[in-house]
């Protein structure tokens, strides 16, 4: 292959970046906006997360650990959530381009093609609390703060943006709560959070092949061989957009991060209480491997160019396997909570939570090889989630729950990507707590989540940043999504 990377068209055709894959590490489960999992207990799930100031069991460690002072003795809560998402993408005609080549965009899918990338998930959480004295309590939460799995069909229209992603995370969150007076309790904690991501996308090596042919055609024309130049241009047009020359990239990365949390619970009287809970951002530096695969039918000179060192430091064509890293900051949050027991049987509650999602503005993947870093702008915005809930005590054994929630998405339509097909959502929830005896109870919760239709037109072009490891592919279509959730929680105290 000629040294086409020095040519503008070929330089722009160096397309193997992982910018959309960056966001894939932050991919959402269907429960909550952004990449939050959504709920960490069945007790909360039954009220659509409105019960932060309730403080009924050890799971309050996540919602408001200051309420640990309301418990007595030892308390344990084990939670298992099941999420069944229904996500359908309908293609509107996705294409791939080669800027500077003069070629028209080539279709890489058919309008009307559909794919369902989301799968069911089972997610556990565990909490333990101990009331050491009238004024001091301890707690430990082990829960999943975020996680998802998306697996698109190999030949779908967005394969050069994303083929599959899996995110796993786990947080260990010890807390201490102090009861400063009859009305006021405070709590503080730290979080050790583990995050692991695995993602894949297709790589269109046909673009580099075509760019090399175009570079050779320019040289032929300059040397006075117009016939050869025309032949090479025609070959380039035939090669460009051919999926037979697709390769792939596979990335894995993991990291531990540290965060903190503070909480306050003010009990105005025996029936009314208010809470405030803050959780910090957690900074991660996901480190792992980037494994490239090239198609066997690439000409030797094209393969040599793709896997060799950069010719002049401009395009950085080095697709050898190497280490890779990605810096991520999860959002910090601030929640305002209220609870009021209207009658002996009926109580109402509310929560308003703010998430500083604007921390996610630009994502960058760096490679240990000479491959240029992959940069993508996300421009997330800060969002609110509003929840209202109620409980009704049928008898000494049975407590019914219900709630509604409105959750804004941090993703603006113009920046929506296959890695996070997110949109504003509403949540309807029902739940119940059954008391077997003085020590043991179980919570059950069911939720239905409906997301607004989410149109998408995502182009892998790094917003014009250079040098650009870009595919210049545009996936176009619309997402329709909903989800059902089921949670079960076993509570025991002694």
Question: DSSP string spanning 287-352?
Answer: EEEEEEE--TTS-HHHHHHHHS--SSSSS----S-EEEEEEEEPPPEEEEEEEEE-SSSEEEEEEE
- Higher pLDDT residue, 159 or 299? 159
Look at residues 384, 487, 482 and name the one whose alpha carbon lies nearest to residue 30. 482
Averaged pLDDT, 309-336: 74
The pLDDT of residue 308: 67
d(CA 78, CA 58): 9
Contact 148, 28 (CB under 8 A): yes
User: What does the DSSP assignment read for 14-30?
Assistant: -----HHHHHHTTPPPS
Domains of the chain: 4-493 (2.40.160.60)
State the pLDDT confidence band at 359, using cuts at 50, 70 and 90.
Answer: confident
Contact 391, 432 (CB under 8 A): no
- Name the residue with tokens 């917003």: 463
Top mean-pLDDT range of 232-241, 303-312, 466-475: 232-241
Indicate whether 7 pLDDT > 50. no
d(CA 138, CA 175): 6
Averaged pLDDT, 125-151: 93
- Name the residue with tokens 């790589």: 203
**For the chain, what percent of residues have pLDDT higher than 90?**
63
The pLDDT of residue 3: 33
Look at residues 290, 320, 291, 293 and name the one whose alpha carbon lies nearest to residue 305. 320
Averaged pLDDT, 395-407: 96
The tokens for 380 are 């997330």
Cα-Cα end-to-end distance for the chain: 74
The pLDDT of residue 317: 59
pLDDT in tens, 13-69: 333 333 333 333 333 445 566 666 778 899 999 999 999 999 999 999 999 999 999
Mean of all residue pLDDT scores within the chain? 87
State the pLDDT confidence band at 173, using cuts at 50, 70 and 90.
Answer: very high
CA atoms lying within 13 Å on the CB side of residue 56 = 26
The pLDDT of residue 300: 82
d(CA 301, CA 35): 42
Helix (H) or strand (E) holding 388: strand 383-393
The pLDDT of residue 264: 98
Averaged pLDDT, 121-148: 93
As to burial, measured by CB atoms within 10 angstroms (0-12 exposed, 13-18 middle, 19+ buried), residue 344 is exposed
Averaged pLDDT, 275-297: 93
The pLDDT of residue 311: 36
- Higher pLDDT residue, 428 or 32? 428
The pLDDT of residue 139: 97
The pLDDT of residue 404: 97
182 Rama sector, left if φ>0, alpha if ψ -120 to 50, beta otherwise = alpha
pLDDT in tens, 479-494: 999 999 999 999 999 8
pLDDT in tens, 231-272: 989 999 999 999 999 999 898 999 999 999 999 999 999 999
Contact 36, 393 (CB under 8 A): no
Averaged pLDDT, 103-123: 93
d(CA 154, CA 16): 17
State the pLDDT confidence band at 450, using cuts at 50, 70 and 90.
Answer: very high
d(CA 273, CA 266): 5
């Amino acid at each position: 292959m000629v040294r086409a990377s020095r040519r503008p068209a070929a330089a722009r055709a160096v397309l193997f970046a992982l910018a959309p894959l960056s966001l894939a590490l932050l991919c959402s489960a269907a429960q909550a906006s952004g990449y939050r999992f959504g709920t960490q207990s069945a007790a909360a799930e039954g009220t659509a997360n409105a019960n932060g100031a309730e403080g009924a069991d050890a799971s309050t460690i996540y919602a408001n650990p200051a309420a640990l002072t309301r418990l007595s003795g030892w308390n344990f809560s084990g939670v298992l959530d099941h999420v069944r998402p229904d996500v359908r993408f309908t293609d509107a005609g996705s294409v791939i381009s080669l800027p500077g080549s003069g070629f028209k965009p080539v279709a890489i899918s058919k309008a009307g093609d559909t794919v369902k990338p989301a799968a069911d998930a089972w997610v556990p959480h565990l909490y333990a609390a101990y009331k050491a004295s009238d004024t001091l309590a301890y707690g430990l939460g082990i829960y999943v703060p975020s996680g998802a799995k998306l697996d698109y069909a190999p030949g779908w229209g967005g394969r050069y943006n994303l083929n599959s992603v899996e995110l796993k995370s786990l947080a260990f969150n010890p807390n201490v709560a102090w009861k400063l007076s009859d009305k006021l309790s405070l709590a503080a904690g730290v979080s050790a959070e583990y995050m692991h991501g695995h993602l894949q996308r297709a790589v269109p090596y046909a673009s580099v092949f075509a760019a090399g042919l175009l570079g050779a055609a320019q040289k032929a024309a300059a040397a006075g061989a117009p016939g050869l130049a025309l032949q090479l241009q025609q070959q380039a047009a035939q090669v460009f957009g051919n999926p037979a020359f697709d390769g792939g990239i596979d990335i894995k990365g993991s990291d531990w991060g540290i965060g903190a949390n503070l909480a306050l619970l003010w009990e105005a009287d025996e029936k009314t209480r208010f809470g405030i809970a803050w959780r910090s951002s957690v900074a991660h530096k996901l480190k792992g491997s980037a494994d490239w695969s090239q198609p066997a039918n690439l000409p030797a000179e094209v393969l040599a160019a793709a896997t060799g060192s950069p010719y002049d430091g401009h395009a950085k064509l080095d697709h050898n396997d190497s280490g890779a890293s990605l810096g991520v900051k999860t959002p910090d949050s601030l929640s305002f909570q209220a609870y009021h027991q209207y009658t002996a049987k009926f109580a109402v509650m509310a929560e308003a939570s703010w998430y500083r999602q604007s921390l996610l503005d630009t994502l960058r993947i760096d490679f240990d090889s000479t491959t240029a870093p992959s940069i993508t702008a996300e421009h997330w915005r800060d969002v609110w989630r509003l929840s209202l809930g109620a409980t009704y005590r049928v008898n000494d054994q049975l407590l019914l729950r219900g709630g509604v929630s409105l959750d804004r998405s941090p993703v603006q339509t113009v920046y929506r990507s296959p890695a996070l097909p997110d949109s504003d959502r509403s949540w309807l929830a029902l739940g119940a707590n059954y008391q077997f005896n003085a020590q043991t109870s179980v919570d059950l919760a069911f939720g239905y989540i409906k997301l607004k239709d989410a149109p998408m037109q995502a182009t892998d072009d790094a917003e014009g940043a250079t040098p650009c490891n870009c595919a210049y592919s545009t996936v176009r279509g619309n997402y329709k999504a909903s989800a059902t959730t089921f949670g079960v929680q076993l509570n025991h105290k002694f």
